[in-house]
Amino acid sequence: MVTTDPKLNQRRLWWERLLWIIDMAAYGVIGLSGALALVHVSDYVLDTLLGQRWIISLFAWLMVAAWLGLAGRASRVWAVEYIGNVASGWGAFVYAVVLSSGALSGTASFAAFGVAVVAMLAMVRRYAELRIFTSEPGVKTRGWLRDVLDRRTKNVVPRKHY
């Protein structure tokens, strides 16, 4: 077993808790953005999509699914977070594509495009983290369903296999 300096462990715990808070905030903002898109969409987005509400509904519901990611991250149930993460990442991607045509036309549209891209990148980062956690060495499988039900995250990864 590798022993480390307790000060380094405390610093690492602080950074991992900060990432946990950032993930929770990202899921919350994306979910709220999706809910707002269901209620009211700007004229710019409607004009860009030529009034096709189904695309708006698609990215909005995908972004609302970020609340599944929020619930999964808060409860540390990976299976729930994984679904919310993938859905909200795709929702943010579709929204970024929609906003990309007018991103350089004004500061407000560029800011909205930038927020959609940053949200999408946050979901990609967390997706990569989820893939790493679900493939951690030394994890014994007891069947797919049992693994999904047992899968919980901590703010730190156990390093028992070192």
pLDDT in tens, 85-134: 999 999 999 888 888 887 777 777 788 888 889 989 999 998 888 877 66
Q: Is residue 155 part of a domain?
A: no
Q: What pLDDT was estimated at residue 162?
A: 44
Q: Give yes or no for residue 11 having a pLDDT over 80.
A: no
List Cβ neighbours of 7 (8 Å cut-off, separation of 6 or more).
none
16 closest CA partner among 88, 83, 104, 76: 76
Q: Is residue 1 part of a domain?
A: no
- Give pTM, 2 decimals: 0.72
How many whole angstroms from its chain centre is CA 9?
26
Q: Is residue 51 part of a domain?
A: yes
Residue 23 vs residue 136, higher pLDDT:
23
Q: Is residue 157 part of a domain?
A: no
How many domains in the chain?
A: 1
Q: What are the structure tokens assigned to 146, written together?
A: 């049992």
Q: Is residue 110 part of a domain?
A: yes
Task: Tell me which residue range forms the domain holding 18.
Answer: 6-150
Q: What pLDDT was estimated at residue 31?
A: 92
20-46: average pLDDT: 88
Q: Is residue 69 part of a domain?
A: yes
91 closest CA partner among 30, 49, 24, 50: 30
Q: Is residue 101 part of a domain?
A: yes
Q: Is the Cα dihedral 148, 154, 160, 162 positive or negative?
A: positive
Q: Is residue 29 part of a domain?
A: yes
Residue 119 vs residue 10, higher pLDDT:
119
